[in-house]
Amino acid sequence: MTGSKSVNPLPYSDFRSDTATAPTPEMFAAMMKTSLGDDVYNEDDSVKKLERYVATLCGHEAALFCSSGTMTNQLAHRVHLCNPPQSAMVDIRSHVFNYEAGGISFHSQAAVYPIMPSNNKYLTAEDVASRLVLDVDVHYAPTRVISLENTLNGTIMPIEEMERIRILTKEHGIKLHLDGARLWHASIATGISMKEYCSHFDTVSLCLSKGIGAPIGSILVGSEMTIKKARHFRLLFGGGWRQAGLLAEAALWGIKNNWPTMEDTHRRAKWLERVFLQVGCQITNPVDTNMVWVDTTNAGFTVDDLIVELAKEGIKISGSGCQARVVLHYQISDEAVKQFIEVLRKMAHSPRMKVNVDLIKTSMLEQPHSIYNDEHNDKMGPPSPPLSPDSPILGQIQTLPKDRSSEVNQQSEKESSDSDAEDDVLPRSTLDTTEPYQPSSRRSTPRPMSAYYEPERMKARVREAEQAFGMRKSCSENLLEDDESHCGDDQVPSSRMIRTTQSLDLEELEARAVVEQLAAADSERPQTAVSTGDKKKVNKIHYRLAHNPASKAFKRASVRIVRWGSFLNREA
Does residue 1 or residue 304 have the better pLDDT?
304
Residue 342: pLDDT band with limits 50, 70, 90: very high
Cis status, amide bond into 190, omega within 30 of 0:
no
Q: How do residues 379-389 score in pLDDT, each as one tens digit?
A: 344 444 444 44
pLDDT at 224 over 70: yes
Burial of 334 (0-12, 13-18, 19+ CB in 10 A): middle
Q: Residues with Cβ < 8 Å from 152, sequence gap 6 or more?
A: 91, 93, 94, 122
Structural domains of the chain ordered from first start: 19-257 (3.40.640.10), 261-359 (3.90.1150.10), 450-571 (no CATH)
Least confident segment among 106-110, 223-227, 297-301, 366-370: 366-370
Predicted confidence band of residue 500 (pLDDT cuts 50, 70, 90): very low
In this predicted structure, what is the pLDDT of residue 44? 92
pLDDT band for position 107 (cuts 50, 70, 90): very high
**Pairing verdict, β 323-327 and 318-320:** antiparallel
Greater pLDDT, 478 or 70: 70
Query: Which pLDDT score, from 0 to 100, does residue 458 have?
Result: 58
At residue 77, does pLDDT exceed 70? yes
Higher pLDDT, 205 or 559: 205
Examine the pLDDT at 116 and tell me if it is beyond 50: yes
pLDDT at 364: 40
Q: Stretch 209-221: mean pLDDT, rounded?
A: 95
Q: What is the pLDDT of residue 7?
A: 72
How many residues in the chain?
A: 572
Residues 6+ apart with CB under 8 A from 177: 73, 76, 77, 80, 145, 146, 147, 148, 201, 202, 203, 204, 205
Q: What integer best gives the mean pLDDT of the chain? A: 77
pTM for this entry: 0.63
Q: What's the whole-number mean pLDDT along residues 317-342?
A: 94
The answer to whether residue 492 scores a pLDDT higher than 70 is no
Cα–Cα distance for residue pair 198/162, rounded to 1 Å: 10
Helical ranges in 291-333 per DSSP H: 303-311
CB atoms within 10 A of CB 455: 14
Classify 174 in phi/psi space as left (phi over 0), alpha (psi -120 to 50) or beta. beta
- pLDDT at position 432 is 42
Confidence of residue 553 (pLDDT cuts 50, 70, 90): confident
Distance CA 565, CA 561 (A): 6
